[in-house]
Amino acid sequence: MKVVIFAGGLGTRISEETDIRPKPMVEIGGKPILWHIMKIYSHYGFNDFIVCLGYKGYVIKEYFMHYFLHNSDITIDVASNKMEVLGTQSENFKITLVETGLNTKTAGRLQQVQKYIGDEDFMLTYGDGVCNVDINDLIAFHKSHNKIATVTAVQLEARFGGMDLAANGEVESFREKAKDEGKWINAGFFILKPEVFKYLQTDMSQMMWEDEPLEKLTEDNELVAYQHKGFWKCMDALRDKIELENLWKNNQAKWKVW
């Protein structure tokens, strides 16, 4: 099963990092968050990736073009201009890097990579979110429901604590940050049947995957949600990058399943 990753957005909310590189190349623990996402899938045996490029896509291309060399021990004979690879720590990734346009929106990016996917189920996620979802359980859930699309749903943790107040102003209860038990959000980590491309028939270049395609799949009762109650984090802003970096440094990176 192939894995499609959206990696073409501008990343304007984390411009401190994305002025010089696309958001999926922002590093956590010295490795791009894109690498972390790929390692999650690779842990479950999925190493065939299709990456949808856009903004500064050449940075991603150059990274993987030199990845083998940068992760290998080598001997260089300068006189003869020969190089010998002594050993490598490179992963078993196969990566198809597809230029899907600078300003193309997510539905258009997915539409453009259809020819590389084939006629089998595939996975899809965003290039800025990590989690510890069990991919095997996710696949089993997808197959058992036999829908065109499965989305991983998570509950966000509140940014602030809460209080219940009496009429006279007395505090009746005080709650530290907790998950919003009533609201589930799209966390990516989709599994899709090839029939999904029936929902991407017209020009989708200015259409978000989260808008008309997912709305129509919902209307047709072809979208089901896998409820993930474990760790999930999207690197939306600089504070998220700092939080992820601190988790990695303190050996608390729950998405590190490998």
Summarize pLDDT for 40-62 with one digit per residue, the tens. Answer: 999 999 999 999 999 999 999 99
- At residue 178, the pLDDT reads 57
- At residue 176, the pLDDT reads 63
- At residue 170, the pLDDT reads 66
Share of the chain above pLDDT 90, in %: 82
Query: Could you read off the pLDDT of 61-72 as tens digits, one per residue?
Result: 999 999 998 899
Query: Which of 172-181, 212-221, 236-245 has the least mean pLDDT?
Result: 172-181
Query: Could you read off the pLDDT of 171-198 as tens digits, one per residue?
Result: 766 666 555 556 899 999 999 999 999 9
pLDDT reading at 117 higher than 60? yes
Query: Which of 104-108, 179-183, 209-213, 232-236 has the least mean pLDDT?
Result: 179-183
Query: Which of 24-38, 76-90, 221-235 has the least mean pLDDT?
Result: 76-90
- At residue 179, the pLDDT reads 59
Query: Could you read off the pLDDT of 78-103 as tens digits, one per residue?
Result: 999 999 999 998 899 999 999 999 99
- Mean pLDDT confidence for 132-150: 98
Q: Is the pTM of this model over 0.85?
A: yes
- At residue 16, the pLDDT reads 83
| Mean confidence (pLDDT) of the chain | 93
- At residue 38, the pLDDT reads 98
Q: Where do the domains of the chain lie, and which CATH numbers do they carry?
A: 2-154+182-249 (3.90.550.10)
- At residue 10, the pLDDT reads 87
- At residue 221, the pLDDT reads 96
- Mean pLDDT confidence for 4-28: 92
User: Residue 250 — pLDDT band, cuts 50, 70, 90?
Assistant: very high
**For every residue of the chain, which 3-state class applies, written as one string?**
CEEEEEECCCCHHHHHHHCCCCHHHCEECCEEHHHHHHHHHHHCCCCEEEEEECCCHHHHHHHHHCHHHHCEEEEEECCCCEEEEEEECCCCCEEEEEECCCCCCHHHHHHHCHHHHCCCCEEEEECCEEECCCHHHHHHHHHHHCCCEEEEEECCECCCCEEEECCCCCEEEEECCCECCCCCEECCCEEECHHHHHHCCCCCCCCCCCCHHHHHHHHCCCEEEEECCCCEEECCCHHHHHHHHHHHHCCCCCCCCC
